[in-house]
Amino acid sequence: MSHLTKTNEAFWWSLFSAGGVMAALFLPVMIFVTGFVLPFMMGEDVESQRDRMVSLVTFWPVRIALFGIIFLSSFHCAHRIRHVLMDFGLRWAGVALMICCYGAAAAGAVAAGLILVRL
């Protein structure tokens, strides 16, 4: 072992892990709701469907939970995609790869925050 490189990978890994838990617990059922429950299992009355969805999502604890889920899951995906790209031979891209992946995740988190506050 000739040299050691200091790294803040621990920080990214902690976001990756927390996001992995969030995605594992919440995303399958959320995909089921937006993809199958809403269009096919909530009756024909569009007005009442909309009211129920809006009242559910605008409930403040739900907004905060949705923000946590989207924020952490984004960083989970960013970290994994970065490592997949490294495995595909882009290890040389180093910091640029980090900026692209985590930057996209941060942009997604900011967008989620703005959308959820203005709901």
Residues within the interface to another protein (CB under 8 A): 1-11, 13-14, 20-21, 23-42, 46-47, 49-50, 52-54, 56-57, 66, 70, 73-74, 76-78, 80-81, 83-84, 86-87, 89, 91, 108, 111-112, 115-116, 118-119
Angle in degrees, CA 28, 32, 117, rounded to 5 = 80
Query: How many angstroms from the chain centroid is the CA of residue 13?
Result: 15
**Which residue type sits at 96?**
A
In whole angstroms, the minimum distance from the beta carbon of 117 to another protein comes to: 10
Whole-angstrom distance, CA of residue 57 vs CA of residue 67: 11
In whole angstroms, the minimum distance from the beta carbon of 14 to another protein comes to: 5
